[in-house]
Structure 1
Amino acid sequence: MATFETKAKGELSIFTEGIWRHHHQEQNLMLIPDGTFNVVVINHEALIDNEPVGRGVYFIPVLTRAVMISSDQPIYGLRLKIFSLHNLIQCNNIDVRQTRDVFKISIAQQLSDYVFNGTKDAEHLSECDRVLENLNYELLHKNYQVNPSLRDRVNYILDRKGNIQIQEMCREFEISRQGLHKSFKNSLGVGPKELSSIWRLNHYLWRLQHEDNFTSCAFDAGFYDQVHCIKEFQSKLGLSPRKFTYLNITSVPYIHSTIEKRFTNFYDPD
């Protein structure tokens, strides 16, 4: 596997799934819609969806389509739980309306020097763990208080792997559809229905790791039929499920690994 991660520790584990490192120089890093967002450290020139970017710390939003990152040098990142976006927005003056786009985060020069010097020549993930953990802390600016209602609503969808009915969710949390949608959009940049479709698609990918019957996996994940599944899959990943299964990209095993960990509560705080 060309992408490695360390599980976030301590109080960061409430907000962050993992610290990761991608070091394969010949293949792209593929980020798919998975109900998380990333902060990526690029120490040299790279390409994000074939657009050149310079050295910097980049915000990769809660994705609704696959994004490809390529560089001839290692790339480092933090993968954060979706409800943490509320904390990061508040602390860094990020406009939630921009969360559809990849953009460079402005950080203090001292922190910038610390991050780039600490990751520049690192040979192993463990060497830059502390650097990336400190970046994680600084991005949250000690705002370590979780919004409990937002977290509960997000986890309601995650626990059901995206297979939900919005009306039932509204009854569960005693909130109107409009109120639920507004709370998600204002804090996360995506609506509850959109997030549920992302995690349902992830569940489908997870099922395909254990069974090779595409139709059966689609039904198990809550799709009406295989046509519905393929259409949604292609809209978010840009190719069919069968083509994704045979995709020769080194980050694909890592994608499957993180989905399985997420659905088996590996990333929940101890």
Structure 2
Amino acid sequence: MKKLCFTATTFILVVCLLFACGCTGPSATPETAVKPAESTFQPVSYEDTPVQYSDVNGVSLAYREFGTENSKPLLMIIGWGGDMDGWDTTFIGLLAEKYHVYIYDHRDMGQSTETDAPLTIPMLADDAEGLIKALGYDSMYIYGMSMGTAVLQQILVDQPEMVQKAVLSSASVNANLPETEKLHGELEEALKDPDTPEGVRKETAAILEWDGVYDSLSGITNDVMFITGTADDVTPQSVAVDMAGQIDGSWLVRFKGIPHAGSSYAPEEYAGIVITFLEMDESPA
């Protein structure tokens, strides 16, 4: 099965063509025209959504949840130096219209437990897996951003049965590639800076020490989508293209002119393609 490769402009063009093809009936008169319903969408409010806590692997992980109880679960894994409130509220709100969305703080970050031990990417993957189970699920859709894609890659390799579908946004094999020189420099500077918070310092060391799971990508059979921005100079699109090529049947979406962690810059477009991917039945006819 060939890799599905989209661009944002292509996706929009296809949608436009579908609407054009569907408009073949007689034109509605002013008396019979139906006005489109006004959107009731509202971005989520972190201030109005209580923080909850779950005991996982000897720590307490803080999380918030959005959406209705009977919708499918979607776990969001935040990137380097971020806490759960770093997600764009429009992006999360749009996803929560379709799914039961969980955002959370990694250990040593935000409102989760601070520890004395160093961090590793496999440890953070174990935390995510433990949180899924603690919330009462066997598996979830999972969206990872930046460092969150490293955590998600580790889950896909170690516990693939826990991932219904995976979205990797601004992904990289690891931080030590020639293509990720800027990222590597930023991580090194963070370690040298005495003002870097301890939790961020621990995440920084974990990223630098993680060798990645590149050699195992070809064995992944889960449905996977990569999203990248053509203006991303932290985890350049060439890295995502290479990674997508390793996973048979994976999707690759490139948004023109969007930088690193693009859901903050184009939340509607990112939410749209994520929902399209998650809703798509890719089973053979």
Q: TM-score, normalised by structure 1?
A: 0.25
Larger radius of gyration: 2
Q: TM-score, normalised by structure 2?
A: 0.24
Higher helix share: 1
